[in-house]
Amino acid sequence: MMDQGLIAAVGKDTMRMTSQGHDYLDAIRDNGIWQKTKESAASVGGVTIGIMKDIAVGFVKQKLAEITGIALA
């Protein structure tokens, strides 16, 4: 998780979640998004945690575009 920038060290034995980590957790908070993310990863035989985050955020952006009509890059 540290290598992917989801958490960062703030002391010898202390970690904190980064903004990217919060983005990932916010994206998978929705059960539908989480299910789609897991299914997508499984369909290719597994992916890295960084790719999991990208897939989840992509599904969130897709959902927002459907609701608002605004495509997010």
What residues does each domain of the chain span?
19-68
The proportion of the chain whose per-residue pLDDT surpasses 70, expressed as a percent, equals: 100
Over residues 30-56, mean pLDDT: 93
Band of pLDDT at residue 42, cut at 50, 70 and 90: very high
pLDDT of residue 72: 84
Supply the mean pLDDT for the chain: 93
b/e sequence 16-30, b meaning 16+ C-beta within 10 Å: eebebbebbeebbee
Whether 73 has a pLDDT exceeding 80, the answer reads no
The answer on pLDDT for 46 being more than 90 is no
The pLDDT of 62-70, averaged and rounded, is 94
